[in-house]
Structure formats: structure tokens, C-alpha cells
Amino acid sequence: MVFRKTLTIMFLLVAACCSPVAAADTLVINIDPAAIRIGATYDGSTVRVFGEVSEDCDVVIRMIGETHDLTMKQKGKIFGLLWMNLNTVKMHNVPSFLYVDSSRSFQESVSNDPSYQNLDSLFGLKSLKQVILIEPQTSEDELLFQELLKLKEHEKHYRQFSNVRFGTVENGIKSFEANIDLPPNLSAGPYRMEAYAVRNGQMVAHADTRILVSLAGFPKLLADVAFQHALIYGLMSVIIALVAGLLTGLVFGGGKGAH
């Protein structure tokens, strides 16, 4: 009897050890280049994002910059006649940059599968509602948030795409790739490149890496002088303004004299 119980326990242990275990979802992200230098001739650049993911997953890629605080003036009419600055609004934790790229648009995902209805709130521009704090809080917070999005989109600092492409599938893993076109007015600083694997509207895996944007050449020289030698930078600015004014006067003054 004891032998039979011992044999049963051993069988259960062996069965537990040999039973299949759910494999962790695969998500690998790479970027090229890993660093960007902004020189005098910088006119935008492209970052290639590529990697591997489980074959039944969608992919969302986000490039996000450092957060900072913004102070904005809220305009309104006085006595229904004059437009004036009425209130000062402060926005905290505002990302300086946010590009979102996905393997299919959030709107299309929702129309085809209701389980995807929260994707935009989780990963898209709408997700910033959970991060950005507006003070003082008013009944117009939603309007202010939408105006912020419009401003950042106009500056090409916030964008949302659905251009992630999938490649071949092998052993349950497929490759993905996306090209992120960065604007000419990109700011220097550290950025985070994030990737999310999504299945049935739920995030199942996450990976991220860093990309550094730095100044080079003449822009770096100007920045160094401005921060480390403020007096010299101020004098240079005045001299440049005076020279520009004199040259403008000579050009237009000479033109008038010729007539």
C-alpha cells in the first residue's frame, strides 16, 4: 500500500515536470541608428525600428521624449468684445515628443474587434490624459488637452501612424519593421523607444531601448557659449544684430541711391 502511494506521488511529480508550460511571448526591439547628431545642416532623419514578436500579436511602437512643464495663457472675451489673456494654466508631465506607430490603426482595430477599443487610451496620444496634470482644474480641461495636442501636432512633435510592417514567420516568431521620420526641429536629449506586443486588445509583452539626440558642430558651440558664457553670448547677439542692421541699411539704402 505504501509502495503504491509512493509510486502514485512519483508519477504525479513526473507528469507535472513533463507537462507543457506556456511559453513567454517573444518581443525583441532594435534601432538604427542608436544616436542622432544635430549639426548646422540637420534637416530631419529616419530611425529604423525592427525586431521580432510572437506571430499572433500586433505591435505598437512609441518614441517618447523627456517630460517638462508648460505654462499657457487661456484667452477669452471681456464684455463680449475684447480678446484678452484671462487665466494662466500650467500643464505638468508633458512629453516633449511622442510618435506612435502601430501594425494597424487603432480605429480599424476597434471596428473589427471590440476588444481593441482601449488601445488608443493605452498607447496612443489619448494616453497622455493619464499622464498630464492640468492646474488649476476646470470644466475646460478636455478642451485644453485637445488644444495642446493640436499645438504639438502642428510642431510635428506629436504624431500617430499605422505603418509597422511584418515580415516572414518562422517557428512561431515573425519579424517587424517601421521607419520613423523625425522632424528638423527635433530637440537634443534622451529619448525612449518602446515596443508593445498586443493580443486580443491586451498587452502581453514590452521591450524598450534608448536613443540619444545630441548637438554637434556650430549648434553645439552656440549652446555651450549660451549656457557657460552668457555674457559673451549676449555680446555676440548684439554685435550680430548690429551688423545685420548695417548690412540691411547698406543694401536698401544703396538701392534707393541708385534711383
* pTM, to two decimals: 0.73
For residue 226, the model assigns a pLDDT of 56
Backbone angles phi, psi at 89, to 5 degrees: -115, 130
CB 157: neighbour CB atoms within 10 A?
Answer: 18
Every domain of the chain and the residues it spans:
22-65+96-128+147-214, 216-251
Report which secondary-structure segment, H or E, holds 88: strand 82-95
Q: For residues 63 and 180, is the Cβ–Cβ distance under 8 A?
A: yes
Tell me the CATH number for domain 22-65+96-128+147-214. Answer: 2.60.40.2550
For residue 38, the model assigns a pLDDT of 87
The arithmetic mean of pLDDT across residues 225-247, rounded, is 67
CA distance 204 to 170: 20
Alpha-carbon distance values, 41 to 59, 183, 192 (Å): 34, 13, 24
**The cell 506521488 sits on which residue?**
9
Residues 6+ apart with CB under 8 A from 187: 65, 96, 97, 213
For residue 174, the model assigns a pLDDT of 96
Sheet with 67-78: strands ordered across = 67-78, 82-95, 133-135
| 85-140 pLDDT per residue, tens | 667 889 999 999 999 999 988 776 656 666 677 788 889 999 999 999 999 888 88
The arithmetic mean of pLDDT across residues 15-31, rounded, is 66
